[in-house]
């Protein structure tokens, strides 16, 4: 395992310099495109490697295995991973508890340095990580760039936030006393990230945990364990001591439940579906024998996100924003627009314009940088095809609706649009998590806002309008955690758009915002009489 001596070999950005979002790259540039193609070619020789569990800095292998496959070419093995079972829960917990004793007392500046070192390593090897995302989860080039950039942003942002938190003071100094306020780590946390942002969300939840002095048991998604293994390698290279992050792929039903229910688990940071999030919340709420705290759950769950298009909207901008929000990464984002709500005077022309724009999108291997790559696996594709059959009964198929057959058997689905969907229809209420868009007609703005708020979720939303009064009204009454005016409802930027939703969309954790690290700490007030 590497030591912290690496900090003298690289030159991370100073946390005193202020946070700036990582710049996007321009893949239209021939040199940039060549770099991406070279990374994909080079990485092709590394596919199929076997990865170990990492517990307490030690490598372990298990009899059970997890096979991570390229969803564009399911016969292609991306990585072979060990499968942690319930029997590994105590081993991982002991390693994390042992590491917590020293890591929790490590100066915040050292913990911050780890994050900054890791950010610089990723920055220098960005094309490599972009290529991993293409192979493991089927992201096209722009989507990989956004994922890698957000990973760097989380590391840089949380490093600075940790320093700010460490300098917190009480609002006043009471006469005759010295008053202090300290935000101290919680303990051992379970980090359970999703497959759709397998780098950024995984790294963000992990980085927030450890920069505050906690230690982590990381259980990545079985659809995306390789990128998580690569991140753990980066942390080790950046100087992370053994046991601070323990890498344990495994099934949710065995290893995941064992960690969530463990009496020494202090918090669970989860991003994923509503069903799994609620199950974690329920399991964590039950106190186990020997448990001396109430476990904290930090949950980001699903969405059924709407874009409201008013009759006074810029039509071109609205069409582009809806299509980009609905079909970026094949709609596999909790923030994706799955419902466009259109005022009646604009409805017919909007439907036709969306149909024309969607017809321009291409579907194919993301390594060749198509607009839409595959969906994540066969089960997801089958579920989406089931929703499409429902949509044919509930509305009018405008575009798509089929799964193209490819020579390599990839899990591809055409961008699909249904018009004339009722506000209470299945397609308008249930999260599909794929490239399926429902168009809903409303008579006016008031009805449109009512429809936008009619689901159990409340994650993202947007409104296209040139009427300031409508925007001001939506600011108050459009009930979502992330609301956007005259732009798409995806693409939250760290620092600018703290991310998290209401209702069944989760605990509104506001990742990438100034309040996020509070969730991974507990406040301790100290008063000394002078």
Active site residues: 300, 334
For 197, phi and psi rounded to 5 degrees?
-120, 70
> Angle CA(80)–CA(86)–CA(90) in degrees, nearest 5?
110
First CA to last CA across the chain, in angstroms?
47
Cβ atoms of 135 and 47 closer than 8 Å: yes
Residue 128's contacts (CB-CB under 8 Å, 6 or more residues apart) are 39, 42, 43
For 323, phi and psi rounded to 5 degrees?
-65, -45
Distance CA 164, CA 516 (A): 12
Tell me the Cα Rg of the chain. 23
Distance CA 434, CA 383 (A): 9
**Token reading at 352:** 């036709």
For tokens 């906690």, name the residue: 214
Distance CA 375, CA 72 (A): 8
**Token reading at 93:** 């917990």
**Token reading at 190:** 């379970």
**Do strands 245-247 and 215-218 pair parallel, antiparallel, or not at all (unpaired)?**
parallel
Q: What is the 3-state secondary structure (H, E, C) of 286-329?
A: CCCCCCCCCCEEEEECCCCEEEEECCCCCHHHHHHHHHHHHHHH
364, 399, 384, 371 alpha-carbon torsion, rounded to 10°:
30
Distance CA 500, CA 513 (A): 10
Cα→Cα distances 518→172, 289, 491, 505, Å = 20, 27, 24, 20
Distance CA 511, CA 530 (A): 40
Distance CA 203, CA 208 (A): 8
For tokens 């992201």, name the residue: 139
Decide: residue 272, CB within 10 A, 0-12 exposed, 13-18 middle, 19+ buried: buried
Residue 504's contacts (CB-CB under 8 Å, 6 or more residues apart) are 274, 301, 302, 456, 457, 458
Cα dihedral across residues 115, 119, 121, 122: positive or negative: positive
Distance CA 509, CA 516 (A): 6
Cβ atoms of 228 and 257 closer than 8 Å: no
**Token reading at 193:** 């990230």
**Token reading at 491:** 């693409």
């Amino acid at each position: 395992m590497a030591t912290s001596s690496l900090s003298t070999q690289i030159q991370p950005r100073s946390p005193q310099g202020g946070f700036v979002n990582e710049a996007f790259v321009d893949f239209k540039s021939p040199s940039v495109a060549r770099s991406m193609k070279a990374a994909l070619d080079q990485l092709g020789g590394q596919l199929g490697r076997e990865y170990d569990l990492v517990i307490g800095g030690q490598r372990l292998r298990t009899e059970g295995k997890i096979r991570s496959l390229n969803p564009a070419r399911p016969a292609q093995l991306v990585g072979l991973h060990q499968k942690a079972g319930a029997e590994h829960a105590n081993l991982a917990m002991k390693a994390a508890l042992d590491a917590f004793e020293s890591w929790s007392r490590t100066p915040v500046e050292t913990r911050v340095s780890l994050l900054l070192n890791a950010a610089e390593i990723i920055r220098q090897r960005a094309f490599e990580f972009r290529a991993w995302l293409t192979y493991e989860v089927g992201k096209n080039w722009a989507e990989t760039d956004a994922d890698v950039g957000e990973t760097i942003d989380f590391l840089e942002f949380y490093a600075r936030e940790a320093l700010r938190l460490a300098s917190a003071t009480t609002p006043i100094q009471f006469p005759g006393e010295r008053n202090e306020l300290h935000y101290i780590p919680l303990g051992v946390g379970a980090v359970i990230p999703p497959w759709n942002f397998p780098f950024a969300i995984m790294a963000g939840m992990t980085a927030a945990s450890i920069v505050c002095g906690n230690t982590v048991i990381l259980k990545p998604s079985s659809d995306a364990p390789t990128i998580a293994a690569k991140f753990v390698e980066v942390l080790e290279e950046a100087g992370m001591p053994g046991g601070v992050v323990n890498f344990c792929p495994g099934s949710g039903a065995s290893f995941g439940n064992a960690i969530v229910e463990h009496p020494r688990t202090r918090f669970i940071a989860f991003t994923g579906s509503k069903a799994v999030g609620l199950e974690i919340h329920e399991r964590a709420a039950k106190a186990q024998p020997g448990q001396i705290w109430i476990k904290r759950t930090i949950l980001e769950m699903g969405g059924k996100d709407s874009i409201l298009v008013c009759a006074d909207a810029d039509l071109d901008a609205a069409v582009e924003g809806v299509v980009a929000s609905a079909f970026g990464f094949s709609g596999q984002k909790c923030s994706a627009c799955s419902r466009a709500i259109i005022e009646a005077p604009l409805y017919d022309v909007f439907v036709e314009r969306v149909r024309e724009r969607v017809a321009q999108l291409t579907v194919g291997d993301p390594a060749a940088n198509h607009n839409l790559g595959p969906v994540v696996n066969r089960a997801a594709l089958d579920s989406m095809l089931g929703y499409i059959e429902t949509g044919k009964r509930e509305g009018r198929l405008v575009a798509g609706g089929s799964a193209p057959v490819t020579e390599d058997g990839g899990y591809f689905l055409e961008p699909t649009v249904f018009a004339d969907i009722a506000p209470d229809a299945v397609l308008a209420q249930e999260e599909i998590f794929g490239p399926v868009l429902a168009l809903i007609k409303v008579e006016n703005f008031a009805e449109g806002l009512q429809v936008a708020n009619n689901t159990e979720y409340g994650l993202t939303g947007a409104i296209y309008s040139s009427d300031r009064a409508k925007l001001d009204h939506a600011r108050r009454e459009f009930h979502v955690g992330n609301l956007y005016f005259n732009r798409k409802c995806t693409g939250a930027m760290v620092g600018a758009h703290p991310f998290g939703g209401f209702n069944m969309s989760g605990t509104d954790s506001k990742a990438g915002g100034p309040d996020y690290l509070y969730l991974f700490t507990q406040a301790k007030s100290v008063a000394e009489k002078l």
